[in-house]
């Protein structure tokens, strides 16, 4: 049973994962700020992606390209002409909607009236601004709507400097912007968001094989990080859903409280982008194969995930409520690598010698883990708070610690407690992380 949507929104706000942006000014719709716990969780999700996509592989390198690029990039990529959604307006209540996302395309979901929509028009999703002090059309630039094009335009730079041979990939994490017609469902669809994208360049005849490889590798990434198998599925795009550049696309979908929805798209982009940029720029972006003496445009498999959307899904998936000894317990069963706080260090009371020992214990492990020292409230309440934010281990310093130099380590999931020597703590934790 997926967790109720409002429960996670409330928990996010109450515990400091996600806040509405500009809240003190009444809030800016569809923009969110990540609080002390949210920023750690988001960073951990991105870190795990980078680890598996770049650091653990010899055939993928990283890139961080600019958000503002030459407008020609977006001409060539097809975004200026066709990165749009069908917009309709209800003539009764004047609300605007994205036609392809409406449950019933003839009925307004706000006022309920039928056949009140205007003719659909293509609404381009790119944010426009001007570069420099003059806001004329010649100075018009766009905020990137995806990170992918920054990779394609650097294909030759990266190939030359990294000396990689096909097949190889270029990965990037960063902000993207889309002027969505109907943002919503919390951080699921926002106008400013973060993406984790990789373009994997290969020989055209090997593209199907790599497509299948990445479908499985990407599905496995979510499962390895603890997402429940029943919350995840792969869905193939129908031919009328395919983007202008794609020969085939699968979505990795998560079972959100409102139903199945996209976390990541894995597309076979063929040679569309490199060919388009070669044409627009006049630069030869073909790959030269020294062994066969051939020049050709590589084909591209793209796993494109949303960092912010995926972070939300991990939160939803980790949430659980259970009853222990007649009391309700809320636990975020986040993977240890994702948890915003990995170890909480808790003195039983605020007594100065306990607090001093707490500092010593914290210093012993702070270099290796995200830790938090919490000295307020009863120990029971502090455990409950740590469970609720997903902290895998709590280390408690009590009065006996002063004599025997031992601490109690409590496991979030089993609630089992081990008494161990302070000196042995780093080894004990290392075994478990």
* Contact residues: ligand ATP, CB under 6 A: 146, 178, 180, 189-190, 193, 195, 262-265, 304-306, 308-309
Give whichever of 262 and 370 is closer to ligand ATP, judged by the CB atom.
Answer: 262
Contact 412, 340 (CB under 8 A): no
Residues contacting residue 211 through CB under 8 Å, at least 6 positions apart:
248, 266, 268, 301
- Residue number, 28 or 422, with CB nearest to ligand ATP: 28
The distance of closest approach from Cβ of residue 150 to ligand ATP in the complex, given in angstroms and rounded to an integer, is: 14
Minimum Å distance from CB 356 to ligand ATP? 46
Q: Provide the pairing of β-strand 60-62 with 168-177.
A: parallel
Least Cβ distance, residue 200 to ligand ATP (angstroms): 15
Q: Which is nearer to ligand ATP, 137 or 238 (CB)?
A: 238
**How many Cα neighbours within 13 Å face the side chain of 106?**
2
Least distance to ligand ATP, CB of residue 232, Å: 13
Specify whether the CB–CB gap between 16 and 42 falls below 8 A.
no
Q: Work out how close the CB of 156 gets to ligand ATP at its nearest, in angstroms, rounded to a whole number.
A: 24
φ, ψ (nearest 5 deg) of residue 71: -60, -25
Residue 355 to residue 292: CA distance in whole angstroms: 69
Convert 149-186 into a string of H (helix), E (strand) and C (coil): HHHHCCHHHHHHHHCCCCCEEEEEEEEEECCCCCCECH
| Beta carbon of residue 31, minimum distance to ligand ATP (angstroms, whole number) | 11
Cβ 36 to ligand ATP shortest distance, Å: 22
- The total number of residues shown for the chain amounts to 433
Tally DSSP H helices, then E strands, for the chain.
Answer: 13, 23
Residue 132 CA neighbour count, 13 Å, CB half: 7
Q: Which is nearer to ligand ATP, 263 or 344 (CB)?
A: 263
Q: Of 234 and 330, which has the nearer Cβ to ligand ATP?
A: 234
Q: Among 264, 396, 413, which Cα is nearest to 336's?
A: 413
Which residue, 167 or 265, has its beta carbon nearer to ligand ATP? 265
Q: Please give the residue whose beta carbon sits closest to ligand ATP in the complex.
A: 306
Choice between 263 and 318, CB closer to ligand ATP: 263
């Amino acid at each position: 049973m997926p967790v109720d949507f409002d429960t996670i929104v409330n928990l996010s706000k109450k515990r400091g994962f996600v806040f509405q942006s500009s809240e003190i000014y009444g809030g800016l719709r569809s923009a969110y700020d990540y609080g002390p716990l949210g920023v750690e969780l988001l960073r951990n999700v991105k870190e795990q992606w980078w680890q598996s996509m770049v650091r653990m592989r010899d055939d993928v390198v990283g890139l961080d390209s600019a958000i503002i690029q030459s407008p020609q990039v977006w001409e060539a990529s097809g975004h200026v002409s066709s990165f749009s959604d069908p917009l309709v307006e209800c003539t009764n209540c004047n609300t605007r909607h994205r036609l392809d996302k409406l449950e019933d395309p003839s009925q307004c979901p706000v006022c309920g009236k039928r056949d009140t929509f205007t003719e659909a028009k293509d609404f381009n999703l790119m944010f426009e601004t001007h570069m420099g002090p003059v806001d004329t059309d010649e100075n018009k630039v766009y905020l990137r709507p995806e990170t992918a094009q920054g990779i394609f335009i650097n294909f030759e730079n990266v190939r030359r400097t990294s000396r990689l041979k096909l097949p190889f990939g270029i990965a990037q994490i960063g902000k993207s912007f889309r002027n969505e017609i109907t943002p919503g469902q919390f951080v699921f669809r926002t106008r400013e968001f973060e993406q984790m994208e990789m373009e994997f360049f290969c020989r055209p005849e090997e593209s199907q094989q790599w497509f299948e490889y990445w479908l499985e590798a990407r599905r496995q990434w979510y499962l390895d990080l603890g997402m429940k198998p029943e919350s995840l599925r792969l869905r193939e795009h129908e031919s009328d859903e395919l983007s202008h550049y794609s020969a085939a696309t699968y979505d990795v979908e998560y079972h959100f409280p409102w139903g199945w929805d996209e976390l990541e798209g894995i597309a076979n982009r063929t040679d569309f982008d490199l060919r388009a940029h070669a044409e627009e720029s006049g630069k030869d972006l073909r790959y030269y194969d020294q062994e066969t003496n051939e020049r050709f445009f590589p084909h591209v498999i793209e796993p494109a995930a949303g960092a912010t959307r995926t972070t939300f899904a991990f939160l939803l998936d980790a949430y659980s409520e259970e009853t222990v000894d007649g009391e309700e317990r809320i636990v975020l069963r986040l993977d240890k690598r994702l948890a915003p706080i990995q170890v909480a260090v808790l003195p039983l009371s605020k007594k100065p010698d306990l607090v001093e020992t707490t500092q010593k214990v914290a210093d012993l492990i702070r270099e290796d883990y995200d830790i938090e020292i919490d000295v307020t409230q009863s120990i029971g309440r502090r455990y409950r708070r740590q469970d609720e934010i997903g902290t895998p281990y709590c280390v408690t310093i009590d009065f006996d610690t002063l004599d025997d130099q031992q601490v109690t380590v409590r496991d979030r999931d089993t609630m089992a407690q081990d008494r161990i020597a302070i000196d042995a703590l780093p080894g004990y934790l290392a075994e478990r992380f």
